[in-house]
Amino acid sequence: MFILTAMNQNTTVLDLLVVGGGINGVGIAADAAGRGLNVLLCERGDLAGATSSASTKLIHGGLRYLEQYEFALVRKALAEREVLLRNAPHIIQPMRFVLPHRPHLRPRWMIRAGLFLYDSLSRRVTLPASRSVRFSADSPLRSSMSVGFEYSDCQVDDARLVVLVARQAQEHGAHIGVRKECVRATEEQGLWHVHLRDTLTGEEEEVRARVLVNATGPWVERFANRVLPGREHRHIRLVKGCHIVVPRLFASPQAYLLQNEDGRVVFVIPYEQDFTLIGTTEEDVAGDPADADIAQWEVDYLLRVVNECFKTPVQHEQVKHVFVGVRPLIAGEHLKASEVSRDYTLELDTRGAPLLTVYGGKITTYRHLAEDAMQRLRQVFPRLGGEWTADVPLPGGDFPTQTALTEALMKAAPWLPLTLAQRWVAHYGTRSYRLIDGLGDLEGLGEDFGYGLTAREVDFLCEEEWAKTAEDILWRRSKLGLRFDDAQVARLAQYLDRCCRT
């Protein structure tokens, strides 16, 4: 069993047991482990298996949150944007966003003022300021849109961010238990006694911990009701955000932020070289978050907004992929889903064995959230170490530019195809050298399952990044699921069944 191979069950008491392998869970696990705590993170499925892999793939302040007067949230997120861009240059890249002006929706002065505030709320180090723009005749936008604005934010591979933070946690001594479901938790003499079930084998084991962290995202309330019925918790509101992926709509590298008649905005973003990501909707959802799905009217909504603004229409049959993320938010029922705050709330209950509950949060502010969590836990661990994550690159992030690292990698392995080297650098950074270690030619990478995904890389993902299924690899460790056909998926699954599942 997982825990028994890593620690002595009879004598070890964990400092922290984190339940939930999304961005907030792994962020807390990494920060705590780096401060000297004995940490175990358990996740019933795959890392980033839900909301944390279903975002709009942005590291951003949230320009539209200014209309809800969320100045503190925007300031915090803008500051984190600079930190993350510096610490994860392999998976986070600057991007310019074009906002076409539609006078009947928002006046020019309002947008200009909002962008000035967006530029000024936090110190910019690497990203250029916003500016007004005039669109040329070859713009992909309709001719009725002649002027607009540009501003800066960043694009991120959200699921890879989660995996790399989990790696960071492990490198600082944390234990990462994937496919380990927390099924029972009881209190005895001030400690948590927690039963974990292996979702692949059904085997159960018990661990003890001083503090339990509920970082289960949209399941935060359900987990509390089922596993922690004796503790008070907040009622949350579940809001789903739907996205669609279509073939690339325009050649330029900029993204677009489109205003809509209902007051909301829709992002249109270059994605994985050959595609465009369009999102998001915001609708309340009831029931199990795992059952949330995109409705036909939501696809229609996103296509209608795009087709109102772009010259070349997008048809339903061009939709290549859809995905849905469910956000757990705290707010009064009188607010529209799009107006609910995206900020997080942390609650530490010390009546009995300490319980820390995480409500809400954004990909962008995960590191700040983890620091806040550690500050609250000082009353439990008064000798807790100091803050450290702001100045430490994520695993593989210790390099200046992707171009320089790609050149260095190909110098070390001249036989490596450029496209493969570029993808590795964008996924693994300097950890790419692990993939060529000891090899002298391309054949050493083993079977190619398609689009450069070789047996060597698959083995690496299983051994180093907790991947177990074809879905884990094709949709979270990479986005090659957009390209693989059914036969390629089946062959990869067959290989995993034979070689990598343990």
Exposure string for 143-157, b = 16+ CB within 10 A, e = fewer: eebeebbbbbbbbbb
Residue 13: DSSP 8-state: -
- The long-range contacts involving 381-390, CB below 8 angstroms and separated by at least 24 positions, are 381/15, 381/37, 384/35, 384/36, 384/37, 385/34, 385/35, 385/36, 386/35, 388/31, 388/34, 388/35, 389/30, 389/31, 389/34, 390/83, 390/87
Which pTM was predicted? 0.95
Q: Tens digit of pLDDT per residue, the chain (502 long)?
A: 445 455 555 568 999 999 999 999 999 999 999 999 999 999 999 999 999 999 999 999 988 888 888 889 999 999 999 999 999 999 999 999 999 998 878 888 899 999 999 999 988 888 999 999 999 999 999 999 999 999 999 999 999 999 999 999 999 999 999 999 999 999 999 999 999 999 999 999 999 999 999 999 999 999 999 999 888 888 999 999 999 999 999 999 999 999 998 888 999 999 999 999 999 999 999 889 999 999 999 999 999 999 999 999 999 999 999 999 999 988 655 556 555 666 899 999 999 999 999 999 999 999 999 999 999 999 999 999 999 999 999 999 999 999 999 999 999 999 999 999 999 999 999 999 999 999 999 999 999 999 999 999 999 999 999 999 999 999 999 999 999 999 999 999 999 998 765 5
- The long-range contacts involving 311-318, CB below 8 angstroms and separated by at least 24 positions, are 311/140, 311/141, 311/142, 311/143, 312/140, 312/249, 314/246, 314/249, 318/246, 318/247
Q: Strands 147-156 and 131-134, how do they pair? A: antiparallel
Q: Is the peptide bond before 280 cis (omega within 30 degrees of 0)?
A: yes
Residues 435 and 408 in one domain: yes
Task: Give which of 32, 33, 38 is closest to 11, Cα–Cα.
Answer: 38
Q: What burial class does residue 107 get, using C-beta atoms within 10 Å of its C-beta: 0-12 exposed, 13-18 middle, 19+ buried? A: exposed
Report whether 325 contacts 282 (CB < 8 A).
no
Residue 66: DSSP 8-state: G
Residues 278 and 417 in one domain: no
Give the total residue count for the chain.
Answer: 502
Last residue of a domain, one of 339, 359, 376: 339
Last residue of a domain, one of 321, 339, 357: 339
Residues 44 and 164 in one domain: yes
Residues 332 and 354 in one domain: no
**13 within domain boundaries:** yes
Residues with Cβ within 8 Å of 102's Cβ and at least 6 positions away in sequence, in order, are 145, 259
Phi/psi for 294 (5° steps) reads: -85, 130
Residues 360 and 418 in one domain: no
CATH number at residue 442: 1.10.8.870
**68 within domain boundaries:** no
- The long-range contacts involving 368-371, CB below 8 angstroms and separated by at least 24 positions, are 368/76, 368/79, 368/80, 369/24, 369/27, 369/28, 369/344, 370/24, 370/27, 370/28, 370/30, 370/31, 370/32, 371/31
**210 within domain boundaries:** yes
Residues 173 and 119 in one domain: no
Residues 415 and 475 in one domain: yes
Residues 130 and 107 in one domain: yes
Which residues are paired to 327 by β-bridges? 239
pLDDT for residue 4: 47
CA 499 vs. chain centroid, Å, equals 28
Neighbours of 465 (CB within 10 A): 23
Q: Rounded distance, CA 226 to CA 211, Å?
A: 18
pLDDT for residue 77: 93
**473 within domain boundaries:** yes
Residues 441 and 303 in one domain: no
Q: Rounded distance, CA 406 to CA 425, Å?
A: 6
Residues 179 and 137 in one domain: no
Report whether 16 contacts 37 (CB < 8 A).
yes
Residues 110 and 171 in one domain: no
**215 within domain boundaries:** yes
Range(s) of the domain holding residue 410: 402-499
Residue 394: DSSP 8-state: P
Residues 254 and 334 in one domain: yes
Exposure string for 366-377, b = 16+ CB within 10 A, e = fewer: bbbbbbbbbeeb
Last residue of a domain, one of 391, 422, 451: 391
Residues with Cβ within 8 Å of 410's Cβ and at least 6 positions away in sequence, in order, are 416, 418, 421
Q: What burial class does residue 296 get, using C-beta atoms within 10 Å of its C-beta: 0-12 exposed, 13-18 middle, 19+ buried? A: exposed
Question: How many distinct structural domains can be found in the chain?
Answer: 3
CATH number at residue 212: 3.50.50.60
CATH number at residue 302: 3.30.9.10
Residues with Cβ within 8 Å of 56's Cβ and at least 6 positions away in sequence, in order, are 241, 243, 267, 269, 277, 279, 280
